[in-house]
Amino acid sequence: MPARSRSNPLALAVLVCLAERPMHPYEAATTLRQRQKHESVRLNYGSLYAVVASLEKRKFIVPQETERKGRLPERTVYRLTDAGRIELHDWLTELLSTPVRDYTSFEAALSFLPTLPPEDVASLLRERAEHLEREIVQAHASRELAEKQHVPRLAWVEEEYRTILREAELGYVRALASQIADGTLGGDDWWKAIHGPEGDGPEGDGPEDDGPEGDGPGTT
């Protein structure tokens, strides 16, 4: 599979499930949910069957048998091919070893920060910090429960990673909100001016015109 086709983690998740044993798509989805993998991989049943069809087309999986239980519709059980096992190894190796540029929604919002008035942004960031705080508290509670139940760390390492990212984001968001509120971000005069009564802003095209301290967010 070309690298450009390795963009859907759900396909990777299906390959991982079939590496354990043959399954039909619904069973693979159920397995992923039972193991809380839907917290790390977006699990959509409509997308799941499209992913399965794509993997079959690329010869990474093949139908093994068709089964029917009771009045349920027939379900096709798939197995992993040798090519699929190689693809799984290569894909996971690439993801673990090579950083990938992720375009997050929050990063996009930050890039357009000056579109809103600074006082509104500071308030919204404080609101975001409150949401992050609640998520982090919940994550720590889940971790404590897992430890009490002697669940090995290997089983929740992705949750640990997610929490560390949230904690780092919380620190950044708090600092950014504070700097915007007290006017020490850089580019503040330009930002305030474009949202002033006239709305025309100062001369120049962006916060870089504020001088040495004008290194705040631009209007990219």
pLDDT, one tens digit per residue, over 53-85 is 999 999 999 999 987 776 777 899 999 999 999
Q: Same domain for 120 and 175?
A: yes
How many structural domains are present in the chain? 2
* Contact in structure between 10 and 51 (CB atoms under 8 Å): yes
Beta bridge partners of 184: none
Q: Same domain for 177 and 148?
A: yes
Task: Tell me the pTM.
Answer: 0.79
Q: Same domain for 127 and 193?
A: yes
Q: Which of 76, 97, 118 is where one domain is finished?
A: 97
Residue % of the chain over a pLDDT of 70: 87
What CATH number did the domain enclosing 40 receive? 1.10.10.10
Q: Same domain for 181 and 199?
A: yes
Q: Which of 66, 81, 97 is where one domain is finished?
A: 97
User: Mean pLDDT score of the chain, rounded to an integer?
Assistant: 89
Residue 197 has pLDDT above 90, yes or no: no
pLDDT at site 205: 60
Residue 210 has pLDDT above 70, yes or no: no
Q: For the residues 201-209, what does the mean pLDDT come to?
A: 56
In a domain, 215, yes or no: no
In a domain, 219, yes or no: no
Q: Which of 97, 116, 146 is where one domain is finished?
A: 97
Q: Same domain for 90 and 120?
A: no
In a domain, 216, yes or no: no
Tell me how far CA of residue 3 lies from CA of 6, 96, 183, in angstroms: 5, 14, 45
In a domain, 181, yes or no: yes
Segments forming the whole domain that contains residue 169:
105-210
Q: Is 27 helix (H, G, I), strand (E, B) or coil?
A: helix
Helix (H) or strand (E) holding 178: helix 157-182
Q: Same domain for 36 and 9?
A: yes
